[in-house]
Amino acid sequence: MSVALSGCAKLNLTVSGNGDVMQVIQGDVLKCDLPYFDICVANIPYQISSPLTFKLLSHRPMFRCAVIMFQREFAMRLVAQPGDTLYCRLGVNTQLLARVSHLLKVGKNNFRPPPKVDSSVVRIEPRKPQPLVNFKEWDGLVRICFNRKNKTLGSIFRQKSVLSILEKNYKTLQALQLSQNGSIEDKETALDVSALGDTGEDLNMEIDDDDEEMEVEDGETKGSEFKDRVLGVLKQGSFEEKRSSKLTQADFMHLLSLFNKAGIHFS
């Protein structure tokens, strides 16, 4: 069965008259419940690039391949590698779930009338099986790290606002574990791919953007025990002097596991 998502009534007339078997769903792709599909080929409104990408990646059963045309800068963020200028949270989250490759550039002059931006066609192949990671935890870590991707992790995790958030999580989870007398791991949360869907490059964890110089000094006693725990994790993995802009998927996975083993969580 082929499936076409469309907002064009003319397509219905064309399909119904040619004898081919095709199901046409007319509506907003972000609001529709998608049926089973194996391959997605799409030229989309660029403003839905991020939510559509993660809606596709959260769809079950997983599809085999998607070939989609995006605005070029968005596409290059999807495929960016550690050390690239455009390497960001969007690319890290997408590449956690899928193999992403750039197929070709489509210049603005290929359209009439020409738009203001160039485009690129990208191939997305979901990883099978999906990685065994709590996606909310993963994205919480990546959000913090990419808030200032060119600063050292030691500097980022010394910020008062970051330490405050992590310590609040730590104390909350400790209290829950004591009250429940066991693990609080939420398996549904761990498997919720849609947790990665908010890919704005802003940091939605109430971290103050003006907090760059507000670091907890080594001599401060208040909160120093928890700060030492956090910095100890970074030192254990030799991450203190590393920068998010250079970390690989394996690096982020290792760092998250070290924090979790120390009882430090990001959701």
Report the C-alpha gap between 256 and 56 in whole angstroms. 25
62 annotated ligand-binding residue: no
CB 102 within 8 A of CB 66: no
Is 38 annotated in a binding site? The answer is no
- Is 192 annotated in a binding site? The answer is no
Q: Are 144 and 204 in contact (CB under 8 A)?
A: no
Q: Which residue in 145, 159, 138 sits closest to 260, CA to CA?
A: 138
Residue pair 139/203 in contact (Cβ under 8 Å)? The answer is no
Q: CA–CA separation, 63 vs 186, rounded Å?
A: 26
Report the distance separating Cα 114 and Cα 181, nearest Å.
63
Integer Cα distance of 106 and 75 in angstroms: 11
One-character DSSP codes across 159-174: BHHHHHHHHHHHHHHH
Q: Which helix (H) or strand (E) holds 25?
A: strand 22-26
Count the neighbouring beta carbons within 10 Å of the beta carbon of residue 146: 22
Positions at the binding site for S-adenosyl-L-methionine: 1, 28, 43
- Tell me the binding residues: 1, 28, 43
